[in-house]
Structure 1
Amino acid sequence: MSEVTTQPRVVATDAALALIREIQADHPEILFHQSGGCCDGSSPMCYPADDYIVGDRDVKLGEIGGVPVYISESQFDVWKHTQLIIDVVPGRGGMFSLDNGREKRFLTRSRLFSGGEACPLPGR
């Protein structure tokens, strides 16, 4: 019998956690929303928590560094079999994202959950 392991739906690299702390020095309360495409591709967007209204149909994937990460319900349906890995690469952040102007930006990588991994969703 194979053992089932529980994995978080979203994790962050050390570089992403460091950039989160850098941003929090200017904006203590932040959140992430995984973009669905268009202008900034599929970048995770970082916003001041009081400037972004989380929608009724947004899904909370979890937290990274104590910061909540949301995704739209339609995007979640596409990504529900993957673990999102928030990382950092050189470049300019999304136009409205708090990583903009820091010469590094957040980037989402992904990994498919395997058959032996459970992937619970907080609040769902």
Structure 2
Amino acid sequence: METVPRVTISNEAKKVVDDLRERHGALMFHQSGGCCDGSSPMCFEKGEFMLNENDVWLGTVYDCDFYMSKDQFEYWQHTQLTLDMTPGRGASFSLEIPMGVRFVIKSRMYSETERDHLQPIRYGP
């Protein structure tokens, strides 16, 4: 069995990423449990968000690195995340907010077989 990705992306979210990439260049995502939109994923220009040892790299989604705070990862580690989007303005500093849309996470539990083949994670930047 192939390695199972920890993060996937919807076609609708890909369109938003394409638009943002055209405007801003290389991108990255980070999901924390902090302020603003709570645990919503936030999109930044690559390198714009300062990472530290409390962040976990979950992999690359649509050519963008995806990080999550360690505390959030403890909660979400048993689920595959899907980066999606929804209409409406969020309350974060994410790049898509001025477009009138915001990224959201949808999740599902891994099967037993998938859990044995998960993409490795990396702690810190």
Structure 1 residues 65 and 120, CA gap change in structure 2 (3 angstroms): closer
The root-mean-square deviation of aligned C-alpha atoms, in Å, is 1.7
- Superposition deviation, residue 18 in structure 1: 0.9
Whether 1:70 aligns to 2:28 is no
Aligned to 1:120: 119
What residue identity is the alignment partner of 2:120?
A: L
Q: Does structure 2 conserve the Cα–Cα contact (< 8 Å) formed by 1:35 and 1:43?
A: yes
Shift of 1:49: 1.6
Match of 2:8 among 5, 11, 14: 11
Structure 1 CA distance for aligned equivalents of residues 35 and 59 of structure 2: 24
TM alignment of 1:47-66, pairs within 5 A:
47-66=44-63
Q: TM-score, normalised by structure 1?
A: 0.88
2-structure distance, mates of 1:104, 1:29: 19
Residue 92 (str. 1) matches residue 89 (str. 2): yes
Taking the aligned partners of 2:77 and 2:102, their CA distance within structure 1 comes to 24
Q: Which residue of structure 2 lines up, in the alignment, with residue 82 of structure 1?
A: 79
Gaps of 5+ in 2: none
1:40 alignment partner, SS class: coil
Runs of 4 or more above 4 Å deviation: none
CA distance in 1 between counterparts of 2:19 and 2:91 reads: 17
User: Displacement, 1:94?
Assistant: 3.8
Residue 46 (structure 1) shift: 0.5
Asked whether the 8 Å contact 1:43–1:94 carries over to 2, the reply is: no
Given the two structures, how large is their TM-score scaled by the length of structure 2?
A: 0.87
Confirm or deny that 1:22 pairs with 2:26: no
- Unaligned 5+ segments in structure 1 are none
